[in-house]
Chain A
Amino acid sequence: MERLLEVQGIKKYFPIRKRGFLSRGTRWVKAVDGVDFAIGEGQTFSIVGESGCGKTTLSRLLLLLEKPTEGSVRFRGVDVNRLQGHDLKSYRTSVQAVFQDPYGSLNPRMRIGAIINEPLQACGLLTKREREERIESALKEVRLSGDAVDRYPHEFSGGQRQRIALARALATRPSVIVLDEPVSALDVSVRANVMNLLKDLQKELKLAYLLIAHDLATVRHMSDYMGVMYLGKMVERAPSEEFYSHPLHPYGQVLLAAAASRGGLECDIRILQGEVPSPLDPPAGCRFHPRCLKVMDICPREEPAFTEVGKGHWVACHLYK
C-alpha cells in the first residue's frame, strides 16, 4: 500500500495563557497527543471518537490550518509543514476538505459558481474556459444541475449544500479529501444518499478519504481502516472488518455496542460511566481508566504503549501485551 498521507507522532498542544497579557501559559490543552497512521491511495481511513477527542484538531493539522507542536505530516513522503510556494499550492490542490456544517461551509454572499471557482483560481493554473469546464463537471459529479452556478446557497437544502461543498472539494482533482463528519448535520434520510455518493466517487475518481465521525454505523460500509481516538490519543487502529468483528480496546467495544444497540436490538447495556475528562488535565496512566469496565491495578499507574497485537491491529491497553 503506497503511503499517500502519513502522520507520525503528531502532537498539538494549545497554551492556556495565565492572566496578564504577556505571560507565557504553563498549562496546555493537549488536543492531539501522539498519533500515528497512514492512508493509502484510494482508501478510506475512518477516525471515530467522542467530542473533544481531538479528531477535528487532527483534521486541521492535516489541512495546514494548524501547525503541529511535534511530529510530522507527510504527503508522498514530503513533510508538508516545510512546503512553500509552488509545492505548497500543489499540496493544497491535492488535499481538500468537507466540513460538518452545511450552513456555514458556503459563503452566503457568493454564488455557487464563484464558490466552486475559488479553489481553482487560487491554484492559478487553469484558463477561464478550463475552470468553467471543471465547475460544470464537478456539479455533474455530485448530481446537481448545471444551472446551480447562478444561485445562492440559501436556495439549497442541507444535503444539497454538502454536495456543493463536495463539488468545491472535487474541483481541483484532489488525491485526498478530509471529511469531518460530513453527514452528522443532515437529516437521517439524506445521509445514506450522501454516503453512497461519496463511495461512488471514491471508486470513480480514486479518492482517498480521511473520514471523521462519531457514529460507527454510518462509516462501516465505507472504511478500509479504523482508528479510535480518546483524549488526544489513538487507542486502537485496525483494518475495518477486523475492528468490527474483534474490537479489542474497552472503549472501542463500548462504542461498537452503542452503535449496534441503535438498531433497536437489545444488548446488554454497558453504560459508559462518567463524562470525557478535560484535555487540560487527563487522568494519569491510561487515560481511559476512570471509565473503563475492565480496569486493572496497573491502569492508573502506567500509560499503555500502542502495540501491534494482531496483523495490522494495534491497541493501547494493558489487557494485551
Chain B
Amino acid sequence: MNRIIRKVAKWWRPEPNAIGGKRRRLSLIVIPAFILAVFVIVGIFGPWMTPHDPNEQDITMRYEPGFWAGDWSHPMGTDALGRDVFSRVIEGTRTTLTFSALAIALAGLVGTVLGLMAGYFGSWVDVVVMRLVDVALSVPFILLAMVLTVALGPGFANLVIVIAFLLWAGYARQIRGETLSIKNRDFVALAKVSGVSAPRIIIRHIFPNVRHTIIVLATLQVGYVILLEAALSFLGVGIPPPTPVWGTMVSDGRTVLNSAWWVATFPGIAISLVVLSLNLFGDWLRDKLDPKLRQV
C-alpha cells in the first residue's frame, strides 16, 4: 500500500529538471487515457445522455445533414430511418465496447490458459491443443460464425461467445510459443530445482513474462472485433437491429457514403478513436509492466 501511495505522490509532485527549474511531470499518455475515459463514461451513462431516442424513427427526416448545415438539434445528422446519428453513436458506445471487451477477455482467458498448458506440459496436451488451434484457424470464420449462431441463436451473449470462439486460437498459439521459449530459461529450471510446483511456476514465472503479448494482442484486436460484428450483422448473425452498434452503423451507411456520408463516418471516427487510444494505452501499459524500462 505504501508503495502505491509513494508512486502516486511521485507522479504529482513537481520535479526539478536539468536546469534547476521545476516542472510538473505529465506524460503524453493522458491524451489517449482521457479519450478512453470519455468513452467509458459515455458507455456507462450514455443512454441517459442522448438528446433523442436513438430508435425513434422519423421518415420525414431521412438523411438530414448535421451541425455543418446549421442543424444543431441533430448535430451528426440522421440516418436512413430518420434516427439521430449522435444519439445512436452514444447509445452504441455501451453495446460496442461491452461486447468487444467481453469477447476479447473470454478469448484471451481461454487462449492463454490453453497456450500456457500446451507450452509448459508439452506431450499430449500440446498435441491436442495445437490440433484444436489448427482447426479453429483453418475454418473460414464466416462459416464458423454462422454455424455457431444457428446452434446458439442470436443475441448479445451468444455473439460474445461466437467472437471469442473465433479469436481464442490466435492467443493460444502465440502464448504457447512464448511459453516454450521461457520454459527453457535458466530461472525456470532453477525454480524446479528449488522444488516449486508446476502451477506455481506457470503463474509466477511464465505468465508474467507473457503478459505483454496478451496486452498487445488484445489492444490490436478491438478494431477487428468491432468490424467483425458488423460483418456478422450483415449476415444476420450479429446483434439484431434496431440496437445501435458502431460496426453495423458503418456498414449500413456504406451505400450512401457519397451523399449522406455522416451516417457511416461518425461511427467510423468513434471506432478509430477507440482503437487508436487503446493501442497507445496498450503500448504504455506494456512498457509500464516491464521492469527493465522503468525509470529508476
Contacts and interface: CB of A to CB of B under 8 A. Distances in A.
Interface of A: 21, 60, 63-65, 88-89, 92-93, 95-97, 99-101, 104-110, 118-119, 122-123, 152, 154-155, 165, 168, 172
19 contacts: A21-B127, A63-B193, A89-B195, A95-B193, A96-B194, A99-B189, A104-B185, A104-B186, A107-B187, A107-B204, A107-B205, A107-B209, A108-B209, A109-B209, A110-B208, A119-B195, A119-B196, A154-B292, A172-B194
A99 B194 contact: no
Nearest to B294: A152
Contact of B208 (A88, A93, A109): A109
Interface in B198-227: 200, 204-205, 208-209
B192 interface: yes
A88 B193 CA distance: 11
A101 B186 contact: yes
Contacts of A106: 187
Contacts of A119: 194-196
Contacts of B194: 92, 96, 118-119, 122-123, 168, 172
B196 A118 contact: yes
Given A93-B195, A97-B190, A99-B190, 7 more contacts: A105-B186, A108-B209, A110-B204, A110-B208, A119-B194, A122-B196, A123-B194
B157 interface: no
A110 to B, nearest CB: 8
B291 A154 contact: yes
A101 B86 CA distance: 59
A60 B189 CA distance: 9
Q: Is the interface of B mostly helix, strand, loop or mixed?
A: helix
B292 to A, nearest CB: 5
A101 to B, nearest CB: 6
A43 B157 CA distance: 66
B186 A99 contact: yes
B3 to A, nearest CB: 9
Contacts of B200: 122
Nearest to A153: B291
B296 interface: yes
Nearest to A107: B187
A93 B192 CA distance: 11
B291 A109 contact: yes
Given A101-B186, A109-B208, A109-B209, A65 B193 contact: yes
A111 to B, nearest CB: 8
A104 B184 CA distance: 10
A92 B208 CA distance: 25
Nearest to B191: A118
A96 B195 CA distance: 10
A145 B195 CA distance: 27
Contacts of A100: 186
A199 to B, nearest CB: 22
Interface string B126-165: 0100000000000000000000000000000000000000
Closest 5 pairs (CB-CB, A-B): A119-B194, A92-B195, A104-B186, A109-B208, A122-B195
Contacts of B186: 99-101, 104-105
B190 A92 contact: no
Contacts of A118: 191, 194, 196, 204
A14 to B, nearest CB: 15
Central interface residue in A101, A108, A165, by most chain B CB within 10 Å? A108
A110 B204 CA distance: 9
B14 to A, nearest CB: 25
B66 to A, nearest CB: 50
Contacts of A107: 187, 204-205, 208-209
Given A152-B291, A154-B291, A155-B296, A105 B193 contact: no
Interface in B268-292: 291-292
A121 to B, nearest CB: 8
B190 A168 contact: yes
Given A101-B186, A155-B296, A96 B291 contact: no
B196 A105 contact: no
Contacts of B197: 122
A165 B194 CA distance: 12
